[in-house]
Chains A and B, each alone.
Chain A
Amino acid sequence: MHGAAAIAGIGESTYYERGGSPHSEFQLACIAIQRAVEDAGLELADIDGFVSYMDSRNDPIRLARALGIRNLRWTGSPWSGGGNNSCASIQAADAAVSAGYAKHVVVFRALAQGQFGRFGQSGGGGGGGYLGGAFAWNAIYGLMTPAQQCALHTARFMHDHGISQEALCEISLACYANAQLNPRALRYGKPLTREAYHASRWIVTPFHLYDCCPENDGAAAAVVTTAERARDLAQKPAAIVAAAQGVGPAFATYTQDTLGSSHYGQVAEHLWQNAGVVAQDVDVAQFYENFTGPVLMAMCEMGFASPDGIESFVKDGALQGPDAKLPFNTSGGNIGEAYIHGFEMINESVRQIRGTSTCQAPNVERALVVGGPGYSPGSAVLLGASA
């Protein structure tokens, strides 16, 4: 299984500010998928599987009909949640092609928040009514949004390890800085300064406005096939060296032993075990930053730094640019490029393996993507120039 599958093609729609898409969400998905298939050197008729995540509204039967795909052999979607499943979706496609259930599986994520409203934005508050189910336990106290949930963990992590606001700022600054190199990025031409970061309003302590990724419209897709088939296609394959999931606490549940965590300890254990390498062997990494704070926790849990050393690991612009010690969110990530629920990071990692990023790290042998932190199951994928 190790490196038996590869990403052979990538594509994305133009990225738009929230509500700015002239296309429906489904049309955005079709654009990204068509471009990924074309990039791979395939025809739409070659596609026989679909995987998405986060309760995608763009279901595979509708897509198959719209795109003229007659021969659908595999569909899948990791259990519900959010961007925590971004890399689990690649794992599901890898499983399908490695086992021979399908030949060319499209993995994608599309969102038009102008059309459907925001993700991760639960109801509650303001207008009376009742709060039900698991949501009620915390929403009754005004703890509702992912920003608030992630802030509760981040506040404890910062307290325990003496981490200052500057460490969070560094994550946002790196995403903005790298986005200045990427014409696809929604923050291209809109640099962020340390002063503007600190002057921005609080959303929820310890998150300023610039600690939170903005909302937008767009779609991204990738084609997963076997490594053997990928070798004969149009692009240099990005081998799926390893992919992993891991569990943490249930939704809306806080426990003493998981407070101050991004819940990526088990993902790390499984990923490095499957890959046979360690964090220090990674040449470039994309970390899903719905909010900056959980990235610091995820970096520690994935093995890049210790909690007491994470601030010095990220400080003074250490994460910015292609020559950083750990080139990080090189397309700008969710904050700088576009919030395609982390799928833009999958495509960026493929570019790093191909050597075509706008912020290209030198001699990339291994490119890591870490999915949305703070929720479980978390997921991560390691891509390689070779299996």
Chain B
Amino acid sequence: MTRVLGDAWPLPGLDDRNRAFFTAGVLMLQQCKRCQHVQHPPEDVCEACQSFDLGGFESAGAGRVESVIVVHHPLHPGMADIVPYAVVAVALDDVPGVLLTGNVTNRAPDAVAIGDRVEVTFEEVVDTANNVTLKIPQWQAVDG
């Protein structure tokens, strides 16, 4: 799968906090083991009960577009053939309150609207320098 922003777009530098999100191949968020609160981005502390005992929560990855912008201005000359592209904020059906950002892989930038139903999909990229396969969460629009 070709990446929405092109194969030259930088990759996330993996660390203990983001590794599961960018490599699991399912939508893996951070969940408090004590109170079950799910938060994103991950933190060192549960924002609901202040516990340090944090684990993972696998979301089903179905949601709704809550906002969308279309980026036209290329930040550098190297981005000239990437624009225009859309960025969405997505609310998940099974995680109230949280928003995830991303791109919509199967629609033209100007064909994405607030209220569109989306489901998670993954951009698979091999980071050859670090010998790791990334599965970057993205969104595809679903009808209905």
Contact = CB atoms under 8 A, between A and B. Distances in A.
B73 A127 contact: no
Contacts of B85: 142
Contacts of A145: 75
A55 to B, nearest CB: 21
Contact of B71 (A127, A142, A201): A142
A129 B40 CA distance: 24
Contact of B70 (A131, A139, A204, A255): A204
A148 B101 CA distance: 12
A246 B8 CA distance: 39
Nearest to A253: B41
Contacts of B84: 202
B98 interface: yes
A124 B9 CA distance: 8
Contacts of A131: 10-13
B141 interface: no
Contact of A159 (B11, B13, B41, B67): B67
Contact of B87 (A124, A148, A201): A148
A68 interface: no
Contact of A156 (B4, B66, B71, B102): B66
B10 A152 contact: no
Interface string A320-358: 000000000000000000000000000000000000000
Interface residues of B, number: 42
A240 interface: no
A259 B98 CA distance: 10
Contacts of B69: 148, 151-152, 155, 204-206
Contact of A143 (B4, B66, B87): B87
B13 A156 contact: no
Interface in B86-142: 87, 89, 91, 96-99, 101-103, 114, 136, 138
Given A201-B72, A204-B69, A142 B9 contact: yes
B70 to A, nearest CB: 4
A76 B114 CA distance: 43
A156 B67 contact: yes
A205 B114 CA distance: 13
A260 interface: yes
Counting contact residues on chain A (CB < 8 A from B), the size range is: 35 or more
B15 interface: yes
A79 interface: no
Contacts of A280: none
Nearest to B83: A142
A304 B76 CA distance: 39
B97 A254 contact: no
The dominant DSSP class at the A interface is loop
A125 B75 contact: yes
A108 B43 CA distance: 34
A142 B85 CA distance: 8
B78 interface: yes
A119 interface: no
A233 interface: no
A139 B84 CA distance: 15
Contact of B10 (A124, A151, A205): A124
Contact of A125 (B41, B79, B96): B79
B110 to A, nearest CB: 9
A138 interface: yes
* Interface core residue of A128, A137, A148, A260 (most chain B CB under 10 Å): A137
B36 interface: no
A203 B41 CA distance: 27
A255 B102 CA distance: 14
B91 to A, nearest CB: 6
A139 B114 CA distance: 21
A49 B12 CA distance: 42
A126 B103 contact: no
B97 A257 contact: yes
A99 to B, nearest CB: 32
A152 B15 contact: no
A132 B15 contact: yes
Contacts of B76: 125-127
B24 interface: no
A265 to B, nearest CB: 17
10 contacts: A126-B8, A127-B10, A127-B78, A128-B8, A145-B75, A148-B71, A152-B87, A156-B66, A253-B40, A256-B98
